[in-house]
Structure formats: structure tokens, C-alpha cells
Amino acid sequence: MTGAEILFRCLILEGVEVLFGYPGGAVLPIYDTLYDVAMRHVLTRHEQGAVHAADGYARATGKPGVVIATSGPGATNLVTGIATAQMDSVPLIAITGNVKQQLIGTDAFQEANIVGITMPITKHNYFVRDVRDLPRIVKEAFHIATTGRPGPVLIDIPKDVSEAKAPFTYPEDVNLRGYQPTVDPHPLQVERLRQAIKGAKKPVILAGGGVIASGAHEELLRFAETARIPVITTFMGIGGFPSGHPLHLGMPGMHGTYAANMAICHCDLLIGIGARFDDRVTMGRLDAFAPHAKIVHIDIDPAEIGKNVETYIPIVGDVKRTLAAALEGLAPADSAAWLAQLDDWKRAYPLRYQMSGDRLKPQYVIELLDELTGGEAIITTDVGQHQMWVAQFYRFKRPRSLISSGGLGAMGFGFPAAIGAKLGCPDKPVIAVVGDGGFQMTMQELAVVKQYRIPVKVVIINNRCLGMVRQWQELFYRKRYSEVDLSVSPDYVKLAEAYGLRGLRAETPEEARAVLKEALELEEPVVVDCVVEPEENVYPMVAPGKRLDEMVLGDEA
């Protein structure tokens, strides 16, 4: 078999159903073989679209996404997407072609050292020198990407390796010296957790993306209800705990809820579960973060324990297994008075905004989507104000229903991620809520939804500017609005029509209800341009360098 044939045989054995990619000279042997392989391939219009689509597929399904690109610019165009997957712990296999080995290091046409470039942003990467190594490398790549803390793995295949021949033998097992993730927690540390809960008066859980990655949402629900502990979900943890549950406090941090931030400030026991205490949660004020609390940290990645916050009880292990172990003999905390205090804060300071006549408010658009979908849709987003409004006003009920670039904050992510999510979950409604800035970075993928008839809905929160940058300039740079004006942009309805798609527009609350309802009822891709109030800000907000209890609630609060 040729190297290209071996590659596809491996992908089939790993259960890969769909590839996202873009061909080029160095991967032509692979694409020539693909012509005869029964595997779905989605031709995006840019490699960045391909890698974000593979990422969206992985986040929606829990299975690794696979992307292929050629050497040089094809490979480097994957970099943002690979870094996004790395920051958010997403299982991703990136396959790149390279020039023939005899040309490596000669600055050959479309040569790039993609292994070196991606070394800091991959969990692991490979440069394949011998076709006989290819089956082992693919097997190891899938194992590494999907075990322990998930992440992206890159396989760089020179053109001569794709063309070379070797007998095919696929390894049954993977045994990597130095890579043995600890999945079962230490029983003594779990017992310390149970005792800490028993003695706590003001406990709180901070649940992150690790809950979703490990499939631990049911264990988390039982754990919180049994121990009577309120739950805060980080942005990446949204959906890991039902947002309508009485114990749910919402999101913490810069744009977190009043109750969530106050809970962190006043708790005596903080149990971090699959969360990494990033600066959007702690605000970088580690001296003032949970100042009265003993901190428990449960994480599959030992490198995260103690990295950002001092940990009283460290527990290394898979979140699902750890919570299951902790549930055995778990006694409830004495938290009745604490829960009553939190309920008072939730009632006194809910998320809110003011409608203003006929002008369309972005928060209202998100609330409408929640109402019209019953909270059952998969929502993908870009990065910015609309991303925070989605986190605040869409009531996510299930894991893997919010798909967004959290750690890296990559604009242009939302729309192609929706393509991947819809292909992975064809029976669920998938809506890409994007800003007009981010959408313009990857909107060429409208051709993909037309070509493959992928019925995602694109809802543009169009404020004709870079909204979050404008908000920071208003609040912290004396309204010196430097280079945020996007008033010269396409007519998005005509743009959709140019691709042969349906385009709709709303500028008032009444129009928004009508067009969103129409879009959701159509079994085809639709672009909805929601022209919203441009000066709306995201509140609550904690300014950089401030404590979590120094929230600015906004004029509306």
C-alpha cells in the first residue's frame, strides 16, 4: 500500500467519518487516494475554516475532528485553529503535507517547518520520515489526542512518504513511555474532600470545561444535589450543569453574574472541577480571589494543579471518575443559610437590560433564540460582546451545546465551527451567533453550506463596529474610538443571496421575532442580519485589575 492508502486505512479503523480540508501540491497523493475512498470530505474555502469546522465537529460529538491541509501556507493557515483547540482542550488531528524529504531545509516552494511552528500549540506532533512508521504514528496520534487532557496532534507527511509503499499492519495497542495519564484519584484525597464538605458552611463548586470533556455532567448534578453545594460554571463549563437548576449561579469573572462573583468572594470552600482558574475568572487578582476559602482542585492534568491558585486539596484524576468516587459516602454540607444568601443575591441582581422602543437590543435577540428553540439548540459563537450575551441570556441545558473559542478568543471561529457541529449532530438545530466583525473573517464558508446543503442558521449581531473593543475604549480610553468602525461592510442579505442562500434582516424587536421564527422553520441554511443598538455594553463587568466584588452593573442595573 502507498502511504496515502495506509493513511486512509488508519483513519477508517479509527472511526473517522468526515474530513475537513483543502488540497494542494504536497497532499495530492492523499487527495488522489481520497477519490477512491468512501469517506466524506468537506472542501472549505480556507484552511482556517477547515480547522475550525473540525474543531466544532469534535466539540459537538466528543469525537476527534480531522483536518487536512497542504504544505507551506496551507499548513500555516491551520495555526489559529490548532491553537484554539489546544487552549480549549479539544481532540483534533491535523494532517499536513510537506515537500519531499530531499527538499526539506532548502526553502523549497511551499516549504514550512510546521512541526516546529506548532510545537508550542499541540499536545504532540509528528514528522513522518518512513512510510513504515505511519500506522503506528496515526494510532498514537488518536490515542494522545483523546486520552488524558484532550488536545490537538499534528502529523506532517512529506510527499515522498505519501507515495512510498509498505505492507500494512495496524497496532492493536499504544504504550508510550512517559505518557500514562492518571485517571483514578487518590482515595485519601477524595476522603479529604468529603471531610472538607462536611465541615463547610459556605461551599461553592467552580465547574469548567473538564466536566464536559470527561462526560461528567450527570455525576456533577448528583454531587451538587447530594452535598447541597451551589454551582458556578465557567464559560467553558456552560452546559455542564443545567442553567435553570436552583443551585446554578451562572458564570463567574469579568462578565459573570453578581451571585457567582459574590459567592467566590465569600465562600469558605471552593471546589474547582476541570477548571484552570484563568485570568477571566480570577481577574489576575490572585490575592483577592476566594480570599476566605480553602481551594480544592480536581483536574486530569497535574500541571494545572497549583499553577494559578494555591491548592488546599489537590486531586489529579478524570473528573467523571473522581466525582463518582466522591459520591460514595458523601454527606451534605451545612449550607442552608448560605443557599438562602445566594438566592437573595440572585433575586436582587439578576441579569437584565432595558428595551428602548423600536431599537433592537442584542440581548433580546439571544432571549428570542432561547425561547424559539426551547434552549435545545447547539449555539456556536465568535468572540466579543455577542459571545458574552449568549453566555448570559441563552439558557443552556446540556453539555456540548455551547461551542465557542474560550481560551484563545479567535474571531472567525463561530461560523465554520457551526458547519462541523451540524455535520456531527445532523438532528439538532445549530445556530452560529456571530458578530459582524468575526463573520467577515470566515464568511466565505457560505459557499460550503450551499454546496453541501448544510442547514445551519447564521445570526449576525450587527452593531457595525468591533463592539467589545469599542466598549473597552468607551470605559477605559475616554471614548477615543480608534479603528473600530465597521460601517462599511457588505449587505449581508445580498451576500447570502449571492451565494444562493436565503437572507433575512431585522431592525426592530417585532421584525426579529418574525425573521428568526421563519429562519428556524426553514430546512436550509439561512443568514439573519440583526441590526442592533451599536452602543449597547455587556454588564455586569469587572474592570481589569479589580476584585470580583467590584463589579460595574451598568446603567440598567
Cβ atoms < 10 Å from Cβ of 327? 15
What is the phi/psi pair of residue 429, to 5°? -65, 135
Q: Which among 123, 159, 346, 361 is annotated as catalytic? A: 159
Q: Is 168 a catalytic residue?
A: no
* Spatial separation of the C-alpha atoms in residues 269 and 264, rounded to whole Å: 9
Q: Which of 236, 441, 468, 551 is catalytic?
A: 468
Computed on alpha carbons and rounded to an integer, the radius of gyration of the chain in Å comes to 24
Helix H, strand E, coil C: the string for 493-546 is HHHHHHCCCEEEEECCHHHHHHHHHHHHHCCCCEEEEEECCCCCCCCCECCCCC
Q: Which residue has the cell 458564570?
A: 251
Sequence-ordered list of residues with C-beta below 8 angstroms from that of 33, at least 6 positions apart, any chain: 2, 4, 5, 7, 8
Give, rounded to a whole angstrom, the gap between the first and last alpha carbons of the chain.
Answer: 67
Nine-digit cell string for 383: 468572540
Q: Which of 109, 201, 310, 556 does the annotation list as catalytic?
A: 109
Active site residue 110: yes
Catalytic residue among 110, 341, 444, 451: 110
Q: 47 catalytic, yes or no?
A: yes
Q: Kindly list the distances between the CA atom of residue 327 and the CA atoms of 25, 190, 223, 420, in Å, as whole numbers in the listed order.
A: 55, 10, 6, 36
Cβ neighbourhood burial of 488 (10 Å; 0-12, 13-18, 19+): exposed
DSSP 73-138: HHHHTTHHHHHHHHHTT--EEEEEEE--GGGTTTT-TT---HHHHHGGGSSEEEE---GGGHHHHH
**Pick the catalytic residue: 14, 47, 140, 219?**
47
Residues catalogued as catalytic: 47, 109-110, 159, 468
